[in-house]
A and B are shown apart, each in its own frame.
Chain A
Amino acid sequence: MRGLSILFTSKIAVAFTMLLIVMVIGIAGFMTFTTHRTDIVQAGLRERLQQLQLIDSPTEEQLSQKADMEMQLEADTFVGRLLLSSYMTAITITTVGFDDVIRDYAYDFMDNSWRRAYNIWVTLFVILAYLAILYVNANFVAYLVGARLTEAMRRRSLLRSIRKLRNHCVVFGCADAGSVVVLELLRAGIPVVGVDSASAPPPELSRNRGFIYLSQDRPDEDMLSDAGVERAGGLVTMLTDASRNLYVTLSARLMNPHLRIIARATGGDSESKLALAGATASVTPSMTVGRYLVSEMVRSETVDFLERMISDSTHNCRMEQYAISEGCPSVGHALGELQPGRKTGVRIFAIMHSSGRITCNPGADHVLKARDILLFIDSPDRLAALARLLERGRRTGI
């Protein structure tokens, strides 16, 4: 439906309407002249038919003449003239102009005033048709170049692929820090639907597998449902406008109560407002930067270490986490028994317990509990290997 409404509001629609009007004018004009001829011819035929019918015993020749005339009367129909006029109109408008068929057909039956009218009519009509075609051509080319038709089709196929996504992450605001977020999520193997006002995503994001970009052409709620927020696992809203972040958070929370929502806050009481609207967590950019800069001086190396890790393109390592689920078969087993280091290469340097307490450098005798979160530095592949190791017991029994 939306595709159709685009057609009706565009210039191309105006161009096609114009073309239609010109065709109607053309056909009506040519119909006038052919009908004029028909009126004369048929009047003559009828008169002669009447004369023939007055004859009591017509000869064979007269009978065949009569049949012939009746046929002529039937042959010259409204539909026939309409087809002829349409043909003439079409070859005129497209400037093909094989022959002036109407002239051949009707000229002999015109007196001087009719002929004058005919010539004026053709001249005016050809000029009008030519202008209309110019306009139509120009707009049609502009339409194709502007690729609005292809854009509408592309959008439909994007929405189709979004409908297939489950547990993806929706990112509102893909510029600057937003693009860092999108790349980090993709790196972790999470499909991302990005929404922003620009017609195309930032260059570093285009051509990324698992990333779908929607340029915003509708209100925020509609974009949320276009991005499939009902089926998503997370939403990041980092628009520059604080009130819109609040609004997007609130709308998304109403659409999906289980969504993990991380929002950009702007200081003041915006964090508590976002929490009230349903945000899982919020990040204030100026505070983050402030903390980074100061920790640089006070506790100088952690941030440097983390930043180097992220900007180093020769590695794909991040500080990662793996949460032990309630039903995980590794619960109740000691690290020394599971041997994650020897079997997967993952070196667990800390465990965060559900209480928030941290055990740093857990020993081999450390027994895993449900909802413990293992912390380590490694690549996504190793993270997957660790998950396989810790979950394998589900089937084999450690």
Chain B
Amino acid sequence: MTDSTKSLCVICGAGETGLAVAVELTAQGFAVTLVDREVDALEAAVAQLPGVGTVEGNCLSDAVLKEAGLDCAEALFAVLPDDRSNVFLSLSAVRMRPGLKIYSIASDSAAADKLLRVGVRRTVNPNSAEGLCISNQMIRPAVAAFLDKVAYSAEDGDDVVRYLNVAMPGDGPPSGTTLGELRMTELTGVVVVAVRRKSGGMVYSPAAEVRVAPGDHLIAFGTGADGERIARLLAADSDRRGSRS
């Protein structure tokens, strides 16, 4: 049923969330297989998304996961209604396919910690996702619109604004260089909105005095060309210094 030329994503749980994930993935050009115990839920999904593949059975059984094509899948989405099932499912999937990309929902931080420990790439808390979406719509509608364009839109092209995350190269500006010294905004026109430290800590809206080191990431919004300009600037910086020494 699924197109063998497209990469396959397996979605465990054909509830509302599973269906929404299927819609998004189909729009992004992935082949999708939904797995659920409830035959009604699967039929409803097929009615809405005719191209979707379905497997009826318990997601917690390895045989069912195999039947869904987990062996050749690119990613697994664990969207079962309760956290414990998602943890169990992720654990069995990791055992079958170490290194598989797994994304899961987790309704509390304890479950999220467990899932990340098991090897899940990312967890999403449905309550905070919805709550943030709604509060942005209420108090910051322009932010919501911006994020719709930048984070969720399927648009692609040279002038599309995207999230840029550029690592400071090891041979780039030395540790202790301030952002002001990099002259990022003057030379590339890009505003650095945050610095992610090598340690994982974040500095938001960093001032010119903030010091950066190799391994830190500079975060900005801009086009792909902007991203390349930042990377070139950081590399050029190292060239200059290299030639000086």
Which A residues fall within an 8 A CB radius of B?
169, 176-181, 183-185, 188, 190, 234, 236, 238, 260, 262, 264, 266-267, 280-281, 283-312, 315, 317-321, 323, 345-350, 352, 356, 358, 360-361, 363, 373, 375-378, 382
Contact = CB atoms under 8 A, between A and B. Distances in A.
Contacts of A292: 124, 129
A185 B132 CA distance: 10
A289 B220 contact: no
A352 B191 CA distance: 15
Contacts of B207: 345
Interface stretch (B34-42, B50-58, B135-143, B168-176): B135-143
Q: Which of B105, B142, B152 has the most CB of A within 10 A?
A: B142
A280 B128 CA distance: 21
A283 B133 contact: yes
A347 B205 contact: yes
Given A169-B138, A234-B138, A373-B142, A350 B161 contact: yes
B117 to A, nearest CB: 17
A43 to B, nearest CB: 87
Nearest to B131: A180
Given A289-B17, A291-B20, A178 B142 contact: no
Contacts of A312: 202
Contacts of A280: 137
A191 B117 CA distance: 39
B130 to A, nearest CB: 4
A293 B20 CA distance: 10
Given A360-B222, A361-B220, A238 B145 contact: no
Nearest to B206: A347
B151 A299 contact: yes
A352 B204 contact: no
A313 to B, nearest CB: 12
Interface string B150-179: 111010000001110100000000000000
B134 A236 contact: yes
A361 to B, nearest CB: 5
B202 to A, nearest CB: 6
A317 B134 contact: no
Contacts of B91: none
Contact of B204 (A284, A307, A315, A363): A315
Q: Which of A178, A349, A375 has the most CB of B within 10 A?
A: A349
A348 B146 CA distance: 13
Interface of B: 9, 15-17, 19-25, 28, 75, 77, 79, 101, 103, 105, 121-122, 124, 126-135, 137-143, 145-147, 149-152, 154, 161-163, 165, 185, 189-194, 202, 204-207, 219-223, 226
A321 B135 CA distance: 13
Nearest to A342: B208
A238 B222 CA distance: 34
A290 B17 contact: yes
B103 A302 contact: no
Nearest to B223: A360
Given A293-B79, A315-B202, A320 B131 contact: no
Contacts of A378: 204-205
B135 A352 contact: no
18 contacts: A177-B126, A180-B128, A181-B138, A185-B138, A188-B139, A190-B139, A238-B130, A283-B134, A289-B130, A290-B17, A299-B163, A304-B122, A308-B202, A309-B202, A319-B147, A346-B205, A360-B221, A360-B226
Given A184-B132, A299-B162, A361-B220, A377 B193 contact: yes
Given A295-B151, A299-B163, 10 more contacts: A234-B138, A262-B134, A264-B130, A285-B16, A289-B79, A294-B28, A297-B101, A307-B128, A319-B147, A377-B204
Nearest to B163: A302
A183 B127 CA distance: 13
Contacts of B122: 293, 296, 300, 303-304
A321 B207 CA distance: 19
B130 A177 contact: yes
5 residue pairs, one from A and one from B, having the closest CB atoms:
A180-B131, A290-B20, A286-B16, A184-B135, A302-B151
A289 B140 contact: no
B190 to A, nearest CB: 5
B17 A320 contact: no
Nearest to A263: B134
B138 A236 contact: yes
Contact of A296 (B103, B127, B140): B103
Contact of B151 (A190, A264, A303, A320): A303
Contacts of B127: 176-177, 179-180
B130 A349 contact: no
B191 A347 contact: yes
Given A180-B132, A185-B138, A290 B24 contact: yes
A177 B126 CA distance: 8
B135 A185 contact: yes
Given A288-B130, A292-B124, A320 B138 contact: no
A321 B221 CA distance: 15
A375 to B, nearest CB: 6
Contacts of A318: 140
Nearest to A372: B142
A336 to B, nearest CB: 11
B219 A293 contact: no
A257 B75 CA distance: 47
Nearest to A291: B152
A307 B135 CA distance: 14
Contacts of A306: 132, 147, 151
